[in-house]
Amino acid sequence: MITIRTVYFVVVLVVFLVALVGAAMYYLIRNRQRKMYPYGKWETLMRRLVAVDRENIVLVARDLVDENGERRFDEGELDLDPSQIWPLVGGIKGLEILERNCQVLVDLVFYAQQWYPEVLAVTEQLRQQAREIELHIQRIKSAEKQGQLESWYPNYAQRAVATYYVMTRRVLGLYEQLNLPGLAELQQSL
């Protein structure tokens, strides 16, 4: 005779098996894809790149650094009022998007290593810059927790944006210089 407990057992068993096989398949497919595409997949990389307001990024970054990423010491330096920087950056959410995009930028240069292994040096440089941005954002978050956001964000937010800007210029420059596939798509996205 089928009891209610037997029904529960069968239901739990089916859920258990589906979850078990599903989890195993998910990780096995991930493993397989990693073997098939050791440098990542271009489409996946592009999907991970979140759209940002490029004009705002340029405006905030070029207030601090020049096109080559060198600190500006001319008269035009720091034209922006600190109160303008936060909305232009998009607040903490905007900074977090930049942080995630930085990882994609690092992966984009890593992707180029399949044709030019010597690009490794650039990948490492970008990795350090991404870490720098991460630290700036961490400082801003701690300042926010301590209620001192206003005195900290203009400096660190602008530095983070400037570093991001330099990173995008470097990645675009590299793809252009080496005539790598996907340059046009990258120019539109960054």
Q: Which of 10-18, 60-68, 76-84, 110-118 is the region at the interface with other proteins (rule: CB under 8 A)?
A: 10-18
How many residues lie near other proteins (CB under 8 A)? Answer: 18
**CB environment 32-70: b (16+ within 10 A), e (fewer):** eeeeeeeebeeeebeeebeebeeebbebbbbbbbeeebe
Least separation in angstroms between residue 28's CB and other proteins is 7
Q: Which of 19-27, 114-122, 129-137, 169-177 is the region at the interface with other proteins (rule: CB under 8 A)?
A: 19-27
Site pattern 21..60 for other proteins (x: CB under 8 A): x-xx--xx-xx--x--------------------------
Instruction: Write out the binding residues for other proteins, residues 72-131 only, by CB under 8 A.
Output: none
Least separation in angstroms between residue 13's CB and other proteins is 5
Cα separation of 47 and 40, whole Å? Answer: 12
Cα separation of 153 and 148, whole Å? Answer: 9
Q: Which of 14-22, 40-48, 110-118, 172-180 is the region at the interface with other proteins (rule: CB under 8 A)?
A: 14-22
Least separation in angstroms between residue 26's CB and other proteins is 8
Q: Cα angle vertex 167, ends 163, 83, to 5°?
A: 30
Least separation in angstroms between residue 61's CB and other proteins is 31
Which stretches within 2-81 are classed as H helix?
Answer: 4-36, 42-48, 54-62
Q: Please tell me the total number of residues recorded for the chain in this structure.
A: 190
Least separation in angstroms between residue 2's CB and other proteins is 9
CB 101 within 8 A of CB 164: yes
Name residues whose C-beta falls within 8 Å of residue 53's C-beta, 6 or more positions apart in sequence. Answer: 90
Site residues (CB under 8 A) for other proteins?
3, 5-6, 8-9, 12-13, 16-17, 20-21, 23-24, 27-28, 30-31, 34
